[in-house]
């Protein structure tokens, strides 16, 4: 394996310098964290599955014209991506009430929302990713009003497309989190979708049984985390023959 410079290590992924300027290699770890890193464990095979699931969903979104950072998968745990300047805002799109919106607004989990609701959180582990409004985002210059408009439009298109895609395989897309970034291409700057789309940042419920097929299995100690992620991959038609397999960890120089 070639030795590459490690650019960033987060809770779920490692970013390495890519082979060409403006590219990065995104390595998916098996580490699982919840409640801002308070709860930690590893889920064997999770990284392999998330790499594959995110590849699939980003590729399908690319096909319908939603620009994103995915270039190609390199191996079981790594994908080549376009480097972006991440906008420090997590965009949460909710179709059905679950998680923090329930406790915050006193809504019963599972209640269908009147329409898709977008929420924003400021990306800051120190502050526990606080909920913010569009006013904060534009006033503090995290994104311009035009960028935020684009982010909102893209998020709703992603929601429409992914809701349909998951419905087709018997899964309800309850909610999910997206990250966007500025991609500099010559003189042009474009807002594109970045990070990952996987059961780590989507709530996915089986339509027939309401069984959770996402990270809530880890958050709530329900067990069967890897099986659930595997079931999502299987229904998407991307589970490799003989299971997800594995690879050795990354080699890097600091």
Ligand X SMILES: Nc1ncnc2c1ncn2[C@@H]1O[C@H](COP(=O)(O)OP(=O)(O)OP(=O)(O)O)[C@@H](O)[C@H]1O
Instruction: Name residue, tokens 């890097």.
Output: 252
Min CB(207)–ligand X separation in Å: 28
Q: How far apart are CA 224 and CA 239, in angstroms?
A: 17
Q: How far apart are CA 73 and CA 79, in angstroms?
A: 4
Kindly give the pairing relationship between strand 252-253 and strand 4-9.
Answer: parallel
Q: Segment contacting ligand X (CB under 6 A): 10-18, 49-57, 97-105, 156-164?
A: 10-18
Interaction of residue 22 with ligand X, rule CB under 6 A:
no
Interaction of residue 149 with ligand X, rule CB under 6 A:
no
Q: What's the token pair of residue 82?
A: 């376009």
CB-based contact 202:172 (threshold 8 Å):
no
Q: Kindly tell me which of 171 and 178 has the beta carbon lying closer to ligand X.
A: 178
Q: Kindly tell me which of 96 and 151 has the beta carbon lying closer to ligand X.
A: 151
Q: Kindly tell me which of 93 and 194 has the beta carbon lying closer to ligand X.
A: 194
Q: Kindly tell me which of 48 and 97 has the beta carbon lying closer to ligand X.
A: 48
Min CB(177)–ligand X separation in Å: 10
CB-neighbour burial class of residue 140 (10 A; exposed 0-12, middle 13-18, buried 19+): exposed
Min CB(129)–ligand X separation in Å: 7
Which segments of 67-170 are extended strands (E)? 70-73, 78-82, 85-86, 89-96, 112-122, 131-132
Contacts of ligand X in 37-96 (CB under 6 A): 69, 81-84, 86
Interaction of residue 177 with ligand X, rule CB under 6 A:
no
Residues 6 or more apart in contact with residue 185 via CB below 8 angstroms: none
Interaction of residue 249 with ligand X, rule CB under 6 A:
no
Residues that bind ligand X (CB under 6 A): 8, 10-13, 15, 24, 69, 81-84, 86, 123, 125, 179, 181, 194-195
């Amino acid at each position: 394996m070639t030795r590459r410079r490690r650019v960033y290590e987060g809770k779920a992924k490692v970013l390495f310098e890519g082979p060409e300027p403006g590219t990065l290699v995104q390595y998916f770890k098996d580490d699982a964290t919840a409640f801002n890193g308070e709860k930690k464990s590893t889920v064997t095979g999770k990284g392999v599955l998330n790499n594959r699931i995110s590849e699939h969903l980003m590729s399908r979104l690319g096909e319908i014209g939603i620009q994103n950072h995915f270039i190609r998968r390199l191996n079981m745990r790594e994908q080549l991506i376009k480097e972006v300047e991440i906008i420090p805002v997590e965009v949460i799109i909710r179709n059905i009430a679950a998680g923090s919106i329930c406790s915050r607004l006193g809504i019963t989990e599972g209640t269908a929302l009147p329409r898709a609701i977008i929420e924003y959180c400021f990306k800051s582990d120190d502050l526990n990713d606080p909920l913010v409004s569009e006013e904060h985002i534009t006033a503090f210059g995290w994104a311009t009003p035009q960028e935020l408009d684009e982010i909102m439009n893209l998020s709703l298109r992603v929601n429409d497309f992914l809701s349909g895609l998951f419905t087709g395989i018997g899964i309800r897309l309850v909610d999910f989190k997206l990250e966007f970034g500025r991609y500099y291409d010559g003189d042009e700057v474009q807002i594109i979708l970045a990070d990952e789309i996987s059961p780590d940042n989507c709530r996915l419920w089986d339509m027939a049984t309401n069984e959770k097929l996402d990270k809530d299995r880890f958050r709530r100690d329900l067990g069967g985390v890897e099986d659930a992620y595997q079931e999502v991959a299987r229904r998407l038609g991307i589970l490799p023959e003989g299971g997800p397999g594995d690879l050795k960890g990354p080699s890097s120089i600091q």
